[in-house]
């Protein structure tokens, strides 16, 4: 999808969620890299006019059981999903 496609969906009322910047496995990253992958993905969407990004999906469903990963995602998002289970409410 192009940014124009994503913007069109957003302006038509669809929720747009985030993944990561580089689709890295989150529980294998340093603290700095984890914050970059999770936080920068939200900033990137915001920089393209997508506001109220509250949902994050972990790459390949990995990291949902890692406290550091979940706490980091919770700094930026309200909900997370691992792709294979239920949505997690983070706050």
Structural domain boundaries in the chain: 18-89
pLDDT value for 83: 67
Taking the CA atoms of residue 3, residue 22, residue 42 and residue 27 in that order, the dihedral angle to the nearest 10 degrees is 150
- What would the mean pLDDT of 20-47 be, rounded to a whole number? 96
Report whether pLDDT(40) > 70: yes
Mean pLDDT (whole number) for 68-84: 89
Say yes or no to pLDDT of 64 above 90. no
Per-residue pLDDT at 86: 66
**Number of other CB atoms surrounding residue 47 within 10 Å:** 10
pLDDT the model gives residue 85: 64
């Amino acid at each position: 999808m192009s940014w124009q496609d994503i913007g069109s969906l957003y302006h038509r009322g669809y929720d747009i969620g985030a993944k990561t910047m580089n689709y890295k496995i989150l529980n294998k990253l340093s603290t700095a890299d984890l914050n970059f992958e999770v936080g920068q993905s939200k900033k990137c969407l915001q920089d393209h006019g997508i506001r109220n990004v509250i949902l994050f999906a972990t790459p390949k469903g990995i990291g949902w059981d890692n406290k550091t990963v979940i706490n980091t995602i919770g700094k930026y998002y309200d909900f997370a999903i691992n792709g294979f289970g239920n949505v997690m409410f983070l706050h």
